[in-house]
Amino acid sequence: MRYGDLLKNYIDLYHRHYIVSAENLGPMYYVMDDVGNNFFDVGIAEQGMLGIAAGLAIRKKVPVVHAMSAFLMMRAFEFIRTDAGFGNLAVKMVGTSSGILSAWNGATHQSIEDISLAMSIPNLNIFCPSDNGEMIEGLEKILLDDKPWYIRYNDCVPSIEHSRFDVIGKGEIIGNNSEIAIVTYGYMLNIVNKAADYLKNQYGIDVDIVNLRTIRPLDEEMLIDVANNHSHVICVEDHLTYGGAFTVISDFFARNNISSRMSSVAFRDYFCSGQYR
Amino acid sequence: MNIDYNALEKTAFNARKKCLSLLDRGCFLGSAFSCTEIITYLYSNFLNINKNNIDDSNRDYFLLSKGHAAIMQYAIMNELRINDCELERDYLKYGTNLYFHPNVNIPGVDFYTGSLGHASSIGLGIALDIKFDNEQGKVVVLTGDGELNEGSNWETLLIANAKKVDNLLIIVDRNQFQANAETEKLSVMDPLKEKFESFGCSVKEIDGHDFGQIADTLNTFPFEKGKVSVIIANTVRGKSVKSIENDWEKWYFDSTEEEIAEYNEELLDYYKRKNVL
């Protein structure tokens, strides 16, 4: 199922959802005409969009708002924090071109601090689907959830066969109890899968792949297993090292006296090049 | 409509008196006293908000965008028995919801406000949803004039104009001050009426302390079909207590019992001269 079709179905079924865009129609342009007044575009105005979304949610509606991740999480940050987060409203914030999916636009349009920003907001949950199927499976539940959510939009085709995403807060481990676990989320699952194949074919090294799916809630039970059953945990993310999954998982391990050899593959203290791909 | 102006004046007097009685604990008194008549009239005669419909979504909405004047909102709601919050007992006491800015846990308060420049867009979201549901509710946002420095207000008006929203009323408490400065000496806001008009609003300008003018103007709401109504209410910061009127230092402050007694004398004097007492 395509993303736009899911939104349209939910509007038809529940009469509670709005599609709101800050001139970011890519994910659902093909259903605009079918959903009538349940869709509106506010123009290039992310703050206004978030305020409006809060107003809709105060009325017990579910606005699903769209903007490029960089402008959603950074331009509108205080509206997300104070209105959606502190207000604990059912606003669903869909960021497109997150990570470095917008690499050629340069650092102005890249979004490698969005998870960190979202994690700093209490109440705000974070969903990073690894492909279109997982995004649809997750959103089927998230669109009916009363909490605010930040969603890293990702409609790529699956690169790996993985389990159905049935329970919010549950990640998955793909592999056969190898010594090394690579923890990742979102679009990077695709890249990590290629890396895993490379390691296997070139060096004969097996790795398990851990797909987090949601960063908040964090699948703590799964991560305890990951720590207990692997000699090395590598966190790979299209994000700054600080404030992303590596930080979140290290923090969880430290607070619970779980020891693990961890390393991070991420961006550290630099803006990414526009040539990075 | 029969309007009991004497009752309005008495509500305003009692609310001001209540605020003065809490001044030993500190509040944004100057800002609260400039919007006393406006809030009094809104809750007494304009807004369909009362003790019995507080939990209904099919009622009017009021957002105090200049949230630091919350003490006046609480005092007036209390005076009109819209809620029973115990100001004297709870104001600024640990573990209560009565602090400097509006809190939704106070019955009748529609949202957490006070981060300046948020409530206009939140109000727009509520207004859009009311229209969508074919309901009759009105949305009133009371902003400060200094607050209009925030670009988000103007972003909201662009969107409201595009959507031809006319169930939204923005009242500007034009007391000519922001925290520590006169508005016109910091960022010039005039000509304010023309600014709003150029953004597609229908604007009226009144004396914000004159119940007659407030009543006459609100009776004509919505001012024009398909336009946001805006009232520029010219007011005086600290109104009714002569010694603090238009004193830039009297925005947030607390006072000794002796000072409060003097302010009370000035307040009595003001209302005696108005033949209210």
Largest CA distance in chain B: 54
Q: What angle do CA B149, B152, B155 make, to 5 degrees?
A: 115
Q: How close is the nearest chain B Cα to the Cα of A57, in Å?
A: 8
Burial, A63: exposed, middle or buried (Cβ in 10 Å; 0-12, 13-18, 19+)? Answer: buried
For residue A53, give the chain B residue with the closest CA: B125
pLDDT at B268: 98
pLDDT above 70 covers a percentage of chain A that reads 99
With contacts defined as CB-CB under 8 Å, which chain B residues touch A37? 132
**Are B112 and A45 an interchain contact pair (Cβ–Cβ within 8 Å)?**
no
Q: Which pLDDT band, with edges at 50, 70 and 90, does A277 fall under? A: low
The alpha carbon of residue B150 and the mean position of all alpha carbons in its chain are separated, in whole angstroms, by 18
Task: Give the DSSP H or E segment for B119.
Answer: helix B119-132
pLDDT at A274: 81
The answer to whether residue A255 scores a pLDDT higher than 70 is: yes
Mean pLDDT, range A122-131, rounded to an integer: 98
Quick: pLDDT tens for A195-204: 999 999 999 9
Q: What angle do CA A268, A269, A270 make, to 5 degrees?
A: 100
- Strand B181-182 relative to strand B177-178, pairing: antiparallel
Q: What angle do CA B64, B69, B75 make, to 5 degrees?
A: 95
Mean pLDDT, range A180-187, rounded to an integer: 98
B127 touches chain A (CB under 8 A): yes
For residue A54, give the chain B residue with the closest CA: B122
Q: Which pLDDT band, with edges at 50, 70 and 90, does A231 fall under? A: very high
The answer to whether residue A273 scores a pLDDT higher than 90 is: no
- Residues making up chain B, counted from first to last: 277
B129 touches chain A (CB under 8 A): yes
Going by the DSSP 8-state scheme, the letter that residue B233 receives in this structure is: E
Picking from A39, A80, A83 by the largest number of B CB atoms within 10 A of its own CB, the best residue to mutate is A83
pLDDT at B251: 86
Separation CA A52–CA B129 (nearest Å): 10
Mean pLDDT, range A212-237, rounded to an integer: 98
Residue type at position A246: F
pLDDT at B250: 86
Mean pLDDT, range A179-207, rounded to an integer: 97
Reference B74, options B47, B97, B46, B45; nearest CA is: B97
pLDDT at A119: 98
Q: Which pLDDT band, with edges at 50, 70 and 90, does A142 fall under? A: very high
Residue A27 neighbours by CB under 8 Å, 6+ apart: A3, A4, A66, A94, A96, A153, A155
Distances (CA, A) of A119 to A127, A215, A242: 11, 8, 11
Quick: pLDDT tens for A20-58: 999 999 899 999 999 999 999 999 999 999 999 999 999
Mean pLDDT, range A263-269, rounded to an integer: 95
pLDDT digits (tens), chain B, 277 positions: 789 999 999 999 999 999 999 999 999 999 999 999 999 999 999 999 999 999 898 999 999 999 999 999 999 999 999 999 999 999 999 999 999 999 999 999 999 999 999 999 999 999 999 999 999 999 999 999 999 999 999 999 999 999 999 999 999 999 999 998 999 999 999 999 999 999 999 999 999 999 999 999 999 999 999 999 999 999 999 999 999 999 988 889 999 999 999 999 999 999 999 999 8
pLDDT at A176: 84
Q: How close is the nearest chain B Cα to the Cα of A54, in Å?
A: 6
Separation CA B267–CA B269 (nearest Å): 5
pLDDT at B100: 95
pLDDT at B180: 86
Separation CA A263–CA A111 (nearest Å): 22
**Are A51 and B156 an interchain contact pair (Cβ–Cβ within 8 Å)?**
yes
Residue pair A277/A104 in contact (Cβ under 8 Å)? The answer is: yes
CA-CA-CA-CA dihedral for A201, A203, A208, A214, to nearest 10: -80
Name the residue among B104, B120, B129 with its Cβ closest to that of A59.
B129
Separation CA B35–CA B16 (nearest Å): 11
Q: Mean pLDDT score of chain A, rounded to an integer? A: 96
Q: What angle do CA A1, A192, A143 make, to 5 degrees?
A: 30
3-state SS, chain A, equals: CCHHHHHHHHHHHHCCEEEEECCCCCCCHHHHHHHHHHEEECCCCHHHHHHHHHHHHHCCCEEEEEEEHHHHHHHCHHHHHHHHHHCCCCCEEEEECCECCCHHHCCCCCECCHHHHHHCCCCCEEECCCCHHHHHHHHHHHCCCCCCEEEECCCCCCCCCCCCCCCCCCCEEECCCCCEEEEECCCHHHHHHHHHHHHHHHHCCCEEEEECCEEECCCHHHHHHHHHHCCEEEEEEEEECCCCHHHHHHHHHHHCCCCCCEEEEEECCCCCCCCCC
pLDDT at A276: 60
Q: Which pLDDT band, with edges at 50, 70 and 90, does A122 fall under? A: very high
Name the residue among A40, A45, A86 with its Cβ closest to that of B155.
A45
